[in-house]
Amino acid sequence: MNDPLLSLLAENRFFAGLTPAEIEDMRAAGTVRRFESGDLIVRQGDPADAFYLIFCGYAKLTQVTPDGHRVLSRFVPPGRGFGLTSILNGYEYVWSAYAVSLCRTWVLHGEKIVQYMERIPKLGINVMSVMVRANRESDRRYQGLLTASVEQRIASALVALSEEVGRETSEGILIDVPLSREDLAEYAGTTLYSVSRVLNRWEADGHVRTGRERVVVCQRDALHEISLHSS
């Protein structure tokens, strides 16, 4: 039969180089789940037992720190997933995942992933590639946060979001999820007030256009520049 999920999996980097039979086999081992915008997908602290691959819509990963601050970890666009921790037993999700739009996911239990990896070495290598990239990504972001000013952090946040969930439009790169000032603040590690001020300044400079829960990056390079050099 003509299976849209199957072809989506086939072109995903998790399954690159696998035979159609192997992919079909794995597809059948997972389940499809659908979430409405705003739905909780997994809760921070729950045992991490499954991997979620988004194939339609966006998910948002947020953490709550012990002293009650919220941190927006990242958005997950179609074709990417979260929950690889599930391949190890005894761990918990470090964030909660919410659907921020109608969201279709393909869910596979961690144990099954391990079973498949034991049978299909290429799968293990693919998974690892994904993890190496993720690691590099957090190393980069980590490094930035430690030394950067608030303005620099907001700039890198927008550059990162352009890649995570950006969509080209005639105006520029639209951040294609509802993104309030507070969301941006939680992503960049600051307050909604500072975000508001910086965004207004940038709007005057033509770097961005903003609206209610909406940001368009017009001059990506300018923001990139700001994120690198101080002041």
**Cα gap 127→123, rounded to integer Å:** 6
* 124 lies in the site for its own copies, by CB under 8 A: yes
Residue number, 121 or 211, with CB nearest to its own copies: 121
* 143 lies in the site for its own copies, by CB under 8 A: yes
- Could you list the beta-strand ranges (E) of the chain: 31-35, 40-42, 50-56, 59-64, 70-76, 81-82, 96-99, 103-109, 166-168, 173-175, 208-211, 214-217
Binding characters for its own copies, 186-205, by CB under 8 A (x = yes): ---x----------------
Give me the residues paired with residue 96 across strands: 62
Amino acid at the residue 230: S
Token couple for 11: 């072109």
**Cα 67 from chain centroid?**
24
Return the residues of window 181-220 that contact DNA according to CB under 7 A: 181-182, 189-197, 199-200, 210-214
Residue from 2, 28, 204, 229 that binds its own copies (CB under 8 A)?
229
Residue number, 130 or 218, with CB nearest to DNA: 218
Applying CB under 8 A, the residues found at the interface with its own copies are 63, 65-67, 69, 71, 73, 84-85, 87-88, 91, 94-95, 114, 117-119, 121-122, 124-125, 127-129, 131-136, 138-148, 189, 228-230
